[in-house]
Amino acid sequence: MLSTLLLISSGAALGAGLRWGLGLWLNPLFAMFSFGTLIANYFGCFIIGLLLALFWHFPQISNEWKLFLVTGFLGSLTTFSSFSAEVMENLLNGKWMMGLGVIAAHLFGSLLFTWFDVLFMRACLD
């Protein structure tokens, strides 16, 4: 139990560090739009697509790796709490179009990245 918690926590620390770094790097470039969060969500969805395809193709991948990568790393990288806060900030400040734009960009972009990478990895592995 403790080793599982350490695996998840280690992955989460890496994912949170990457999310923070992306925000520091990208958010100042686009003052009206939280680009760091968007890229974190896109990247996380791209990686989850890759991992889903790998897990399907290689069922022998250990549960520990799945917990480290998906629950830990991607769980902290792509949490939608930051997304929700950014949308609400726009909506509460009367910036309806910006809020809806953030929703659309995150939702459709994340789904597209996941779909693309599942197809890509399946093609590479077959």
Residue bearing tokens 């990245």: 113
Q: Is 71 annotated as a binding residue?
A: no
Q: What does the pLDDT read at residue 26?
A: 94
Rounded mean pLDDT of the chain? 92
The pLDDT tens digits of the residues spanning 77-98 come to 987 777 887 888 899 999 999 9
Q: What does the pLDDT read at residue 72?
A: 94
User: What Cα–Cα distance (Å) separates residue 79 from each residue in 8, 38, 76, 89, 125?
Assistant: 15, 11, 6, 17, 29
The domain total for the chain is: 1
Q: What does the pLDDT read at residue 36?
A: 92
By residue range, what is the domain housing residue 74?
2-125
Q: Is 36 annotated as a binding residue?
A: no
Q: What does the pLDDT read at residue 34?
A: 85
The phi, psi pair for 12, rounded to 5°, reads: -65, -40
Positions of the chain with pLDDT under 70? none
CA proximity to 35, closest of 113, 98, 96:
98
Q: What does the pLDDT read at residue 49?
A: 85
